[in-house]
Amino acid sequence: MTTSVDPDHGTTTSARPTASAGQHRETMDGNEAAARVAHAFSEVIAVYPITPSSAMAESCDAWSAAGRTNLWGGVPQVVEMQSEAGAAGALHGAVTKGVLGTTFTASQGLLLMIPNMYKIAGELTPAVIHVAARAVATHALSIFGDHSDVMAVRQTGWGMLASASVQEAHDLAAVAHAATLRTRVPFVHFFDGFRTSHEVNTIETLTRDDLTALVREDDVSAHRERGLTPDAPMLRGTAQNPDVFFQAREAANPFYDVTPSVVQEVMDELAERSGRQYHLVDYHGAPDADRVIVIMGSGGDTARETVDALNAAGQKLGVLQVRLFRPFPTEQLAAALPTSVRHIAVLDRTKEPGSAGEPLLADVITALADEADHFDAGMPKFTGGRYGLSSKEFTPAMVKAVFDDLATPAPHRRFTVGINDDVSHLSLPVDDSFTIDHPGLTAVFYGLGSDGTVGASKNSVKIIAADGRYGQGYFVYDSRKSGATTVSHLRFGDKPIDAPYLIDAADFVAVHQFELLEKMPTLDLAKPGAKVLINSPFGADSWAHLPVEIQQIILDRKLDVWVIDATAIAIKTKLGHRINTIMQPCYFYLSGVVDQAEAIPRIKESIDKTYGRRGRVIVERNFAAVDAAIEALSHLEVPAGVVGDQHRMAPLPDAAPDFVKRVTGAMLRGEGDALPVSALPVDGTWPIATSKYEKRGIATDIPIWDESLCIDCGKCAITCPHAAIRIKVAPEAEFADAPEGFKSKNYRDRKLAGHRLVVQVAPDDCTGCGICVDVCPAKSKTEVKHKSLNMEPRREHLETERANFDFFLGLPEIDRSKVRHDQVKGVAQLQPLFEFSLACSGCGETPYIRTLTQLFGDRMLIANATGCSSIYGGNLPTAPYAINAAGRGPAWSNSLFEDNAEFGLGMRLGWEQQNAEARRLLEHVGGLDADLVGELLGADQHDEPGIDAQRERVTRLKEALADRSDATAQRLATLADELVEKSVWIIGGDGWAYDIGSGGLDHVLGSGHNVNVLVLDTEVYSNTGGQASKATPRAAAAKFAPHGKASAKKDLGMIAQAYGDVYVAQVAIGANQQQTVRALSEAQAWDGPSLIIAYSTCIAHGIDMETSMTHQGDAVRTGYWPLYRFRPSEDADAVPLHMDSRAPMGKVADFMGSEARFAMLQRAYPDRARELGDLAQADADERWRYYSQLAGVTRVLPAEREGAADDDQPVTSPTPEPGGTVTPPSGDSGAAGTTKAGE
C-alpha cells in the first residue's frame, strides 16, 4: 500500500513549525545547525571528541580560529580537554566564573559529565550541553543514535529540550541558550545521533539579530555578577550536614516551577521573528482522534507523515511531540491532547531493563494520572513501546503498526516495533507494503568509505539546494574503517523535506564499486524505469559480468543503465581510488536534477572549496577528472534475457559453523535487520575467526609473487596490514597436488631441509594497499621497477590466485619449535591469529597486532581501548582475531575508552587468582601422580617449549580428573587450563594512552603488576576523525589545532621510565622490523609492567598509504621518531636505555614536508609553519641529545619491587640480554605471577 502525502488533508489541528518568508535558506547537517547557535551564544567552549557529536566542537574550533565572533563581538575560546569529564569540569569552572559556556557530547561522554552536571544544576548556573544522542555501550558498543544517554541524565536537574529535525536543532539550540539565562536552570539540548546530527537538509537560518533578540542583557549581567571574584568573595561548593542539606536542596524548586513557562515564552519570541511556532508539546492530527502516539525526537516527523496519510484515508489519529522533557510539562501535555482520545501509545527510543516502563511512558502516565476528567470516556488506555535503538530504522509502516495495535481489542501493554522478537514476543507485526510517496526526486548511491561517495553526495545536496530547491541527504555507514560500505540517500523537492527514514524506491541508483553488485542488495531500490549508473571496468561488456539477479532486475523494471570506468579515470588523473569527482557530474548529467550548463561550474566551485587547502595541484587533478567524466559515459545495451551463471550474495562455505552461516552470513548479505531476537547472543559474546568469510574483494591490484627473486626475508608478510599476504614453509611432498602454476621455491635452512617456501596473497581479502611491494628489497637486475612482488590487476589473476590460496590454506603450518621467534624471517612464517581486519587500507597499526598474535596469540588476553583498534578488531559482522588448529587464539574484550588500563589489570588479577587457586587445589586434591603434580607446580614456562610441555601436563591432569566426583577435583578441572601461563596485553591508541586514559595507565604502570601495554600511536584521534591529542607533534595541523599544534608532544616513554621497573620500548615496524620483534618479545618476558609505543602511520597524516612502512623509516632516519628500549636490570653496571636508531640524518622538515598535516599549515600560514617547524627541529635535536645522555647512565633496579614478589622473598626477575634472549629467574619459576610466557 502506497500513500501520497497531503499535509493538510484530514488534519485540522497542527502545530508544525513553518518557515517565514524571506529568511536566509542554507543547507547543512544537524551538528552544524546547532553549533552555529552555540558558538554565537558562548564565550568559553570546552570540548572533547566523541562520535557523533565531534563535528559540533570541530566547527566551533574552526570558527574561532578564523575569528568568527559571538553575539557580543568576542571570539569564543575553544579548549580541547583530555576527556568528557575534563570538558564538563572546565565548563563548570567557566560558568562559575560568570562567563557563557557550552560543550558537546554523546553516549559515554555524557555519562562522564554526570558528576559535574549535578553540581552545575545544584548551583543554578546557566550552561548548555548539546548532545547528539547515542546508544550507551551495554552488551556492545554502538556509535548510533537512541536516547539511552540522555535518559541517564534526566535526574541531574538539567532542563532537557528535544529536537526532531535539522531545522529544530538550529531553533531549539537558541531556545536552550536563552532559557538557561532566564531561568538559571542549565539545559541539555539533544537530537538523534546520525539521523539528525548527520542528516543534511535545507533550513531557514536565524540571523544574528534573531539570536540577539532572544537574549536579555540583564540576564547576562546577572550571570556575570554571580560569578566568583575576589573583588566580592563568596563560598560555593560547601560541604553540608544533615541539619540543612535537605532544605537547601528544596530551595531551588521555584526556579524549576517557572521553567516551562519561560521556555514557552522564548519559543513564542522565536516564532515572532521566524514564523516557526514551537510548543513544549505539539499535537498534530485529527481534533477528534481516538488513538494518539506520544514521542520525542526525529521519529515524531515520521509519525506526523503517517498520521496525515492515515487520516486522509478516514482514520482519526494524532501524534504528540514532546519537546521539553525536563522539567516535564505536565499541564501542557494534558491540555494538548484531544478529549476524544481512548488509547495512547508512548514510544521510547531507549531500554531500561527491569523497569515498569521506559522513561517517557512513566512520565506521561504520571502526568495524566489526575486528568481523567479531561477525556470524554475517562482515562485512556496506555501502552508503551520501544523503537529505533542504535539508529534502527523507524518507518511509516512501523508507525501504522502501532496505531493498528491500538485498534485491537487487546493492545500490547508493552511492545517493540521494528524487530522480530521471537523470545519475549513483544514485537508488533509490520506491513512493509505500506509506504508514503514524496513528490520530487530520489537517489541512492552505493560506495566504499574513503572513495569519496559520501562527500560527493553531501556536496550534491548543497549544490542542488542552492538552486532554490530543498534537499535532504542521509548517509548509512557502519563504524568500521575506510573501505566499508556506504549508502547515501538523497531527496530533492520544492517543499521542505521531513522524512527521517531511508528511501525504499529511488529514481536514480548509482553503484560506485562494481563488486558491491555481488555482495549486497543494490538495484533492488530502483523504481521501474529508473536511471542506473555503474562504475564498471568492463565498459560495453558489463552485462555479461553482472550477477544474474541484477540482470533480471534490470529487465523486469526496464532500467536505464549507464556505465563508466571511473577507477581508470581516477588513476589517469592521479586521484588514486577517489572517484567522487567523476561519478558526481555523471549523476547531474543523467538525472537532470540541475541544468547541465550550470552543473559542472558548481561542481568545480565545490571542489575548490573542499580541496583548496591541499594545494592547487590537487584541485586541478579533480578538475581534470570532472572534465573527463561525461565523455567516458556509455549507455549499456540491454539484451533480451539473462546471460551467464554468476550469482550475487553467494552462500558461505559448507564448512562454516552453523552460527556463522545463519547469523554472520545474513549480516554480510545486508539482511541483519531481519534476524530474530533468538538468533543473537544474549550477552554480547560472539565467535572469532570469522573475517575470512567476508571476502570484500575491494582491491584493484594485488601483489603477484616472482619466486625467482625472493630472498626469504619475510618483510612483506610482517608489514602487511591485513595479513593478506602470507608465508609458509612446508615439506616438498606437500606440494604434490598443487594447482597448475602454483609457485614455490627451495627454502635454504639446514633445520628444514627438503622444504619449500611460498609467498601467497589472499586475493579476496587484500585491499591493494601495495605496502608489500614497497618494502620488498628483492629487485630485478634486468627489469626496471620489477621486484619479487609486483602489483598487477586483480581481475586478471583472480581465479588463479583463488585456487592457489585455497591450496595454500591446506598446507600445514610450520612447527613453531623449528623457526626462530627472535628473527623477522622466523616470525613471518608463524600463523597470524589476526587476519583480514577492516582497518583502513595501508593501516600502520595492524602489523603490530598481527605480529603479537604470531608470537603469543594462542595464550593472549587482550583488553582493547575504544578506538580504531577496537573497531577493526571487534566490529560486527566479522571478527579478525583467529584460532589455530588446537582451537586456541586471542581472547579479546573492549570495556570503555577511559578505563582500558584498569580493565586489563583486572584481567591479569583475575588470571593470577585463578592460577593461585588452581595451584592450591592441585596441592590438596590428592590421588594424583606426585611427579605430575610436582612438574605442574614447578614448570618453567619462560619460552614456547615450556608452554607446550605445561599444556601436555594439563591434558594429563584433566584425564586424571575426568572420572573424579569429589568437589575439589571437579573444581580443579574447571581451573586446570589456568596452570598454563597467560599473556595479558592492554592495547589502545594515543587518545586513550596520552589523554582520556592516562591516569589509569599511569597507575597500572606504577603497580608493578605483570601486564603488557601496546600503544598504537597515530599522534591524532584517528577514530573520531583526526582531532589533536597530547601525542600530536608540534607544527601538525589537526582538528582543534587548525593553526598547528603549538606545544611539543608528550613524552610518554620517559614518563614511564621514571618508575624504573617498567620495560619501555619505542618502535616503528616499517623502519626496523627486527627491533620491533625483539621489543615485543622482551616486553612479554619482563616480569613486570611493559610499555611498547608503536609509531603507526594513518590516513589522517595525509600520506600515500602505499608507502606507509617506508615512511616510518623516514621518521626514524630524521630523528622524528627515535627507536629505543629501556630494559630495567638489577645488574650493578646496568645501563637500561639502549638507542636502537642511529643519530639523525637530514632534517625533520624533510620528513614533515611529505605529510599533508604539516604541509597544510605551510600553505595556509607559512610564517607560523616556519616558526613551529623550527621549534619542531629543536624538539628533535634536544630529544636526541637527552636520550643519548640517558643511554650512558647507569641505573640499577632495587632488589625488591612492589607487586613483583612476596615481601620476604628476593626478586629474581628475568633479565633481557643484548641479543634479545631472556635469562629465566632462578628458584620456583612456576610460582603464580612470577614468570611470563615468552620467546
Task: Spell out the domain ranges in the chain.
Answer: 24-215+246-273, 282-417, 440-589, 915-979, 1018-1190
Q: Which fold has domain 24-215+246-273?
A: Rossmann fold (3.40.50)
Is 12 marked as a binding-site residue?
no
Residue 1222 has pLDDT above 70, yes or no: no
What's the whole-number mean pLDDT along residues 679-685?
96
This prediction's pTM? 0.93
Q: Beta strands 506-511 and 441-448: pairing type?
A: parallel
Mean pLDDT of 1052-1063: 97
Beta-carbon contacts of 632 under 8 Å, excluding residues fewer than 6 positions away, are 564, 565, 566, 569, 582
Residue 671, pLDDT score = 93
List phi, psi (to 5°) of 205: -90, 145
Q: Is 990 annotated as a binding residue?
A: yes
How do residues 569-593 score in pLDDT, each as one tens digit? 998 998 887 888 899 989 988 988 8
- Please tell me the predicted confidence (pLDDT) of residue 1228: 37
**Mean predicted confidence (pLDDT) in 483-509:** 94
Q: Is 912 annotated as a binding residue?
A: no
User: Three-state SS across 368-434?
Assistant: HCCCHHHCCCCCCEEEEEEECHHHCCCCHHHHHHHHHHHCCCCCCCEEEECCECCCCCCECCCCCCC
Q: What is the pLDDT of residues 531-551, one digit of tens each?
A: 999 999 998 899 999 999 999
Residue 599 pLDDT level (bands cut at 50, 70, 90): confident
For 46, phi then psi, to 5°, come to -95, 130
**Residue 868 marked in a binding site:** yes
Q: What is the pLDDT of residues 996-1008, one digit of tens each?
A: 999 999 999 999 9
Task: Read off φ and ψ for residue 247, nearest 5 degrees.
Answer: -60, -40
| 1022 is annotated as contributing to ligand binding | yes
Share of the chain above pLDDT 90, in %: 86
What mean pLDDT do residues 447-475 have?
89
DSSP letter for 797, please. Answer: H
Q: Poorest-confidence range of 329-333, 337-341, 768-772, 1195-1199? A: 1195-1199
The predicted structure's pLDDT at residue 482 = 73
Q: At what angle do helices 596-611 and 453-465 cross, to 10 degrees?
A: 120
Torsion of CA 662, 663, 664, 668, to 10 degrees: 90
What is the rounded average pLDDT of the residues 906-920?
Answer: 97
586 has binding-site annotation: no
Domains 282-417 and 440-589 belong to one CATH topology = no
Q: Does the annotation list 1023 as a binding residue? A: yes
Predicted pLDDT at 17: 58
Q: Which of 1195, 1077, 1207 is nearest to 1128 (CA)?
A: 1195
| DSSP E strand boundaries for 800-916 | 860-864, 891-893
What are the CA-CA distances from residue 375 to residues 332, 335, 345, 370, 407 (Å)? Answer: 15, 10, 16, 11, 18
Residue 899 labeled ligand binder:
no
Answer whether residue 796 shows pLDDT above 90. yes
- 840: annotated binding-site residue? yes
Q: Does domain 282-417 have CATH number 3.20.20.80?
A: no
Stretch 968-985: mean pLDDT, rounded? Answer: 97
Q: What's the average model confidence in pLDDT over 847-865?
A: 97
- pLDDT for the residue 581: 87
Task: Report, as an integer, the average pLDDT of 252-278.
Answer: 98
Residue 477 in grid coordinates: 555507514
State residue 371's pLDDT score.
Answer: 93
What's the pLDDT score for residue 3? 55
Cα distance between residue 588 and residue 531, in whole Å: 12
Assign 554 to helix, strand or coil: helix
Q: What is the mean pLDDT of residues 107-121?
A: 98
Helical pair 967-975 and 944-961, crossing angle rounded to 10 deg: 150
What lies within 8 Å, CB to CB, of 693 at 6+ separation is 652, 653, 656, 660, 664, 665, 668, 878
User: What CATH fold (topology level) applies to the domain 1018-1190?
Assistant: Rossmann fold (3.40.50)
> Mean pLDDT over residues 273-299, rounded?
98
Q: Report whether pLDDT(1227) > 50.
A: no
Annotated binding residue at 60?
no
pLDDT score at 2: 55
Does the annotation flag 1021 for ligand binding? Answer: yes
The pLDDT value given to residue 1: 58
Residue among 310, 498, 289 nearest 397 (CA): 310
Q: For 956, phi and psi rounded to 5 degrees?
A: -65, -35
Any known ligand binding at 843? yes
The pLDDT value given to residue 48: 96
Name the amino acid, one letter, at 805: F
Is residue 989 annotated as involved in ligand binding? Answer: yes
- Please identify every residue annotated as catalytic: 51, 84, 134, 1023
Q: How many CB atoms lie within 10 A of CB 1016?
A: 27
Please tell me whether 159 is known to bind a ligand: no
At 871, is the pLDDT very low, low, confident or very high (cuts 50, 70, 90)? very high
| Nearest CA-CA partner of 459 in 29, 999, 831, 747 | 29
Q: Look at residue 812 and tell me whether its pLDDT is greater than 60.
A: yes
- Give pLDDT tens digits for 718-765: 999 999 999 999 999 999 999 999 999 999 888 899 999 999 999 999
Average pLDDT score over the chain: 93
pLDDT average, residue stretch 1034-1047? 93
pLDDT at position 594, please?
79
Question: What local confidence, expressed as pLDDT, does residue 576 receive?
Answer: 81
In this predicted model, what pLDDT tens digit does every residue of 925-964 receive, in sequence order? 999 999 999 999 999 998 899 999 999 999 999 999 999 9
Please check the confidence at residue 500 and state whether its pLDDT lies above 90: yes
The reply, when asked if residue 845 is annotated as ligand binding, is yes
182 annotated binding-site participant: no
For position 12, what pLDDT does the model report? 45
Residue 16 pLDDT > 80:
no
pLDDT: which is higher, 464 or 1213: 464
pLDDT at 945: 93
pLDDT of residue 574: 86
Give the fold, CATH level 3, of 440-589: Pyruvate-ferredoxin Oxidoreductase; domain 3 (3.40.920)
Which of 173-177, 464-468, 1076-1080 has the least mean pLDDT?
A: 464-468
Mean pLDDT of 540-566: 96
